[in-house]
Amino acid sequence: MSFWWRKETHRGTSVVVKMENPNNWSMVELESPSEDDVDFINDGVSQRHHNKNAKQLTWVLLLKANRAAGCISSIAPATFSLASAVRRRLSAGRTDTAPSSTKFYFCIKLFLWVSILLLGFELAAYYKGWHFGAPDLHLQYLYTLTNPFAFKGFFDLIYSKWVLIRVEYLAPPLQFLANACIYLFLIQSLDRLVLCLGCFWIRFKKIKPIPKQTLPDLESGDNDGFFPMVLVQIPMCNEKEVYQQSIGAVCNLKWPKSKILIQVLDDSDDPTTQLLIKDEVHKWKNEGVNIVYRHRVIRDGYKAGNLKSAMNCSYVKDYEFVAMFDADFQPNPDFLMRTVPHFKDNEELGLVQARWSFVNKDENILTRLQHINLAFHFEVEQQVNGIFLNFFGFNGTAGVWRIKTLEDSGGWLERTTVEDMDIAVRAHLHGWKMIFLNDVECQCELPESYEAYRKQQHRWHSGPMQLFRLCLPDIIKSKISIWKKLNMIFLFFLLRKLILPFYSFTLFCIILPMTMFVPEATLPAWVVCYIPATMSFLNILPSPKSFPFLVPYLLFENTMSVTKFNAMISGLFQLGSAYEWVVTKKSGRSSEGDLVSLIDKDPKEIQRARSEPDLEKMEEEIKEKISNNKKHNRIYTKELMLAFLLLTASARSLLSAQGIHFYFLLFQGLSFLLVGFDLIGEQIAS
């Protein structure tokens, strides 16, 4: 045994430590000797080796402890620095505009005050001896509740009456609502699981749309391929941060110059922005690009009205297809070469949609969380629906439409804020097919501030409900198959557009806190923790680098359910904010990416549209703009009210010793608190 111990001891790694002072030291590892080089016969030598290694190990441990103490001592300054940064951002905060005028805000505020009163009541009862160790009512308390002679005082009388009211009147409807939301939650989770299995099958079988003919390279001089007339539209409105990169990228598309026309559809009401865009179009026109500038005096219908006006031009009848790009989108030069060939010999095909990629997905925590959602949307939802159903919602940009499809479907309509989904639904009802190309990407930009993202999500979730009310009679009367009607009504609209925000907000932000104060109604731990975590895991699969953000993503999605639920209700019942259209604020990150990418590209492939003086001037303008604009935080009262409600409920859950419920409510409340104080994403420029 002693031989084995000495042998194992000697096989440890030898080190040499040099130390000039406690803050300046180094450690060098020496290669361990082999077993043949060690003489185990001389016990004295073995003992000396053992003692030497022990002394070195002691020095190393002391030095490690010194370094650990230094790290611990730095926690306090880092904490104070973080608190100071938060305090600076909060000091510049501005309260959200007129929140008290909304009934939604009033209801949340009412819930908060009631929960605070109930928490005080429950704390008093707890110290009076009313201990509920589980959410369910214990049988040993029934005698006290039903026997009037068992009361010890006035408080016990009041609290026993409150418990009876909970048991008889509050718990049954609350439990019924909770069970209904759980069933909806399970149905939606099943739908999400089926979509993921469909995506797995597509990858396993390597299924992808393949064009019947690939186009020849234009530089080879062979123009005998499938090169139809293509109209390219770039709608924009007061987006001076990004107009240059979108126009530049579209003007570099590879397509015969005689068979392409670019329309810059400017709805800007800022005279300076109009002049900048006109000047950019003029520069490209002088370079030989077939490009025109259009500006509407009467700006009715927002983006749909802009596109509708452009399609009424007399020369549009000469074109067969139209490609669309928003102002922050930068298609690759081969975009048309990879999308238009899918239309050849496929007369039923009406739309080819490309995937989005994001230049600023790693900019902050907000853009990272958005990227998780959109990666799942394109990789799973759009791809699966495109492969198996030939139908999905048009994303409004980075797509190519057959102009005949638009005309057959009634053209662009201004009746909702989701004109892209509107035209896709009507095209599907008229029998047109759509394909999604997951391997063709178009670069764009994500909103970097919570204010911009919030307004974007409000429009994206109120519009589908407007559209559902308007399209339901047309869906029922259409000539498509019963299966397609059911898919569009129950899956496309109800399950994914209405039920998802409804149960997410109702279940986790209202019912769960209420069950803490009415413990006779329960939510199982698997509903609170395991199923949401599993669904979040599935959502993150298309973006595996985002796995460290699994928990923040789960909490943030529940936080965003307030905005989505409010938008869904306003769209469904045609409230005032349902028709609010706000252009998503851009920061111009894509422009910075363009300047970097110019280094890697062949100069022959890039037109001389932006000279060096122009780039220097643009850089000066950006610096001047940054110096002049002061940034501030916006205080969101709805989110703050819900934060305090959830934190109050988490405090109540401690009395019932509900571990999972407590941690979920605590961290979800903190998530609402961070969003309410606008501490996620960039600040808003004034």
Give dist(CA 379, CA 26) in Å, integer: 49
Measure the CA dihedral 182/184/187/193, to 10°: -80
**β-pairing, 399-402 with 321-324?**
antiparallel
Q: What is the DSSP secondary-structure string of 552-567?
A: HHHHHHHHHHHHHHHH
| Tokens (6 digits) for 47 | 């003992």
Q: Answer yes or no: are the C-beta atoms of 111 and 645 closer than 8 Å.
A: yes
Rounded to 10°, the helix 154-165/103-127 angle is 130
Give dist(CA 340, CA 440) in Å, integer: 12
- Coil vs helix vs strand at 211: coil
Which residue out of 266, 326, 328, 420 is catalytically annotated?
420
- Coil vs helix vs strand at 456: helix
Give dist(CA 492, CA 480) in Å, integer: 15
Residue tagged 């770039």 (tokens): 234
Among 226, 217, 277, 269, CA closest to 250: 277
Q: Answer yes or no: are the C-beta atoms of 56 and 17 closer than 8 Å.
A: yes
DSSP H/E element including 433: strand 433-444
Among 472, 598, 510, CA closest to 178: 510
Q: Helical H runs in 128-260?
A: 142-146, 154-165, 171-205, 243-251
In the annotation, is 420 catalytic?
Answer: yes
Q: Answer yes or no: are the C-beta atoms of 443 and 330 closer than 8 Å.
A: yes
Give dist(CA 106, CA 98) in Å, integer: 12
**β-pairing, 433-444 with 330-331?**
antiparallel
- Coil vs helix vs strand at 414: coil
Q: Answer yes or no: are the C-beta atoms of 639 and 682 closer than 8 Å.
A: no
Give dist(CA 656, CA 151) in Å, integer: 22
Q: How many helices (H) and strands (E) does the chain have?
A: 25, 14
Measure the CA dihedral 551/554/555/561, to 10°: 170
Q: Answer yes or no: are the C-beta atoms of 540 and 372 closer than 8 Å.
A: yes
Q: Answer yes or no: are the C-beta atoms of 433 and 390 closer than 8 Å.
A: yes
Measured CA to CA in angstroms, residue 123 lies from 159, 514, 656 at distances of 11, 16, 11
Give dist(CA 456, CA 581) in Å, integer: 9
In the annotation, is 224 catalytic?
Answer: no
3-class DSSP string for 304-362: HHHHHHHHCCHHHHHCCEEEECCCCCEECCCHHHHHHHHHCCCCCEEEEEEEEEECCCC
Neighbours of 591 (CB within 10 A): 24
Which residue out of 96, 266, 267, 326 is catalytically annotated?
267
- Furthest CA-CA distance within the chain: 103
Which positions are annotated as active-site residues? 267, 420
